[in-house]
Structure 1
Amino acid sequence: MKVAAIQMVSGASLDSNLAQAHALLDQARHAGAELAVLPEYFCLMGRRDTDKLLIAEPPGLGTMQDFLSDTARELGMWIVGGTVPLATDDPQHAANASLVYDPQGRCVARYDKIHLFRFHDGQQGYDEAAVLKAGEQPVTFTLTDRSGTAWRVGLSVCYDLRFPELYRQLAADVLVVPAAFTHVTGQAHWEVLLRARAIENQAYVIASAQGGVHENGRQTWGQSMVIDPWGVVLAQQATGAGVVVAELDRARLEEVRRRLPALQHRRL
């Protein structure tokens, strides 16, 4: 199964971001991808953190969700909608939700980011909990590709990457990681964490990132990539908008797990 990690440099205009996402998803379809993963905050990298609250949609209704549903149906592909802000019962906090749509345009899974990022280095600081409500439940879904092969896909978002216990619970064949890693933390830790999650879970990893300098002045790391269950980077892109395409091979997955049956050896 071919998959695509979509890299973007989203700005402060929802319409412009959706147009860019559609063009990149169409490019992925033409490359043969059956599954495409958009980055975290693909819909908006606002000038203020509270801008997320201004566009937050009720679950099942709104421009961003219609876009994901319509595009999945139009292109006939599975789409993991990076993250979109969804309204909660607290108007001061939104859910940072990753939504999955099948080729018929149906929303088949929703994962709310569990681990909320906080970082201060004396020069720049972030605190997602100021405007976001943390999720509570790990989420997987089953994707059956065009050959009839079923894949268990586990959902995660950005900062989740630092918490390996989440990925153990997912017990998936494919792990998706839409992200907007900062340049500082991404340069230091992004690739090594992604490869570690692939290796220890003997799973494919699709990591779709924001990658560049945004209108709000924030610089994200990028380096979107697809990694195989042995930790080999199959394809990647450093910065700028683009599509990273790679082939997932069920036989390769099973061979790695058979050759080194570490998942069967767990005792804790």
Structure 2
Amino acid sequence: MRDLSTLPDLNIALVQSDLAWQDPAANREHFEQLLESVKGADLVVLPEMFSTGFSMESAKLAEPEEGPTSQWMIAQASRMNAVVTGSLIIQAADGTYRNRLIWARPDGSVAHYDKRHLFRMAGEHKYFAAGEQQALFNLNGWNIRPLICYDLRFPVWSRDSAETDLLLYTANWPAARRNHWNRLLPARAIENLCYVAAVNRTGSDGKGHAYSGDSKVIDFQGDVTLDCKDVTGVQCATLKGIDLAEYRQRFPADRDADGFTLI
């Protein structure tokens, strides 16, 4: 078991906003302006498909793996000296289209996570290939597991044996189901004994679906420590490493968890 007693605090910036429909250049310009206000963050989180909105036109909108939006994220990460993450439509090297979370580091290196659970009610499974693997990224000693939107409904995919410290959700979660979002996020935090940070969009998309925002940070007891409500902009929170360490020491429920194997 890891010793978390020296885990430093983690500063996280949630970027909640409306999105220009299927207009990557406009969205990059908009988010670049929002990011001008970010100071001292270790991690900056953008919504799901932040460059286009939640579109099923994957063949039309997909960028290559080293395309302009990925390069923009790398540039922003370097400028702010912070990891920048969010998902976009990518055509992978194997030719498939992916709803891919990009993890852009300040040193120019990139990792990624492909959305596992594709939202069949919108036909996402018809236009994208599902991810095959979980991901776990390390940032300043924190184990961070990225997930995308519909993944939230599937608790087994959020579980792991790698002592996740932060579950990170990026989403386009419709206002019609905001109660599900607001109830499931605390459940993921409680059952995994970890922090949860989740970024959703606001406004309406090109299909007329409304989004309520509700981006938030939740602690390991399921308590909301930051709620962005429906406000456009950047809001920041500090995740306390020592608080997480002390809680896991006091309440080690993970030691009684059921073992399982993902297939």
Fold shared per TM-score above 0.5: yes
Does residue 67 of structure 2 align to residue 86 of structure 1? no
- Alpha-carbon offset, residue 90 of structure 1: 7.4
**Counterpart for residue 123 of structure 1:** none
Alignment of 1:49-88 (within 5 A): 49-50=56-57, 52-59=58-65, 61-80=66-85, 82-88=86-92
Task: Write the deviation string for residues 59-111 of structure 1: whole angstroms up to 9, x where unpaired.
Answer: 2x21111100111011111111x1111114776x510000101122321x210
Q: Deviations over 1:158-212 (max 9, x none)?
A: 00001111111264101110000111122x2001111111111111111011122
Which amino acid is the alignment partner of residue 138 of structure 1? Q
Deviation at 1:35, TM superposition (A): 0.6
1:8 is aligned, of 17, 39, 48, to 17
Match of 1:97 among 95, 100, 107: 100
User: Mapping of 1:162-241 within 5 angstroms?
Assistant: 162-169=153-160, 171-186=163-178, 188-241=179-232
Match of 1:24 in 2: 34
One-letter code aligned to 1:152: N
TM-score computed with the length of structure 2 as normaliser: 0.89
SS in 1 for 2:167: strand
RMSD of the TM alignment (CA)? Answer: 1.7
Which structure 2 segments of 5+ residues have no match? Answer: 1-9
Number of equivalent positions: 248
Give ranges in structure 1 of 5+ residues lacking alignment.
120-125, 145-149
For residues 168 and 90 of structure 1, the distance between their equivalents in structure 2, rounded to whole angstroms, comes to: 28
Amino acid at match of 2:117: H
- Give the TM-score taking structure 1 as reference length: 0.87
Letter in 1 for 2:195: Y
Q: Give, as a single letter, the amino acid of the residue that structure 1 aligns with 2:129.
A: K
Q: Would the aligned equivalents of 2:16 and 2:234 in 1 still touch at CA under 8 Å?
A: yes
Shift of 1:55: 2.6
Return the alpha-carbon distance in structure 2 between the equivalents of residues 24 and 165 of structure 1: 35
Q: Contact 1:53–1:85 at 8 Å: present in 2 too?
A: no
Partner amino acid, structure 1, of 2:52: L
Q: Which amino acid aligns with 1:198?
A: A
Aligned-pair identity (%): 33
Deviation of 1:24 (Å)? 2.3
CA distance in 1, matches of 2:113, 2:76: 20
1:141 Cα shift?
Answer: 1.0
- Which amino acid letter does the alignment assign opposite residue 56 of structure 1? A
Whole-angstrom distance in 2 between the partners of 1:217 and 1:99: 27
Pair 1:160-2:151 in alignment: yes
Alignment of 1:117-156 (within 5 A): 117-119=119-121, 126-144=122-140, 150-156=141-147
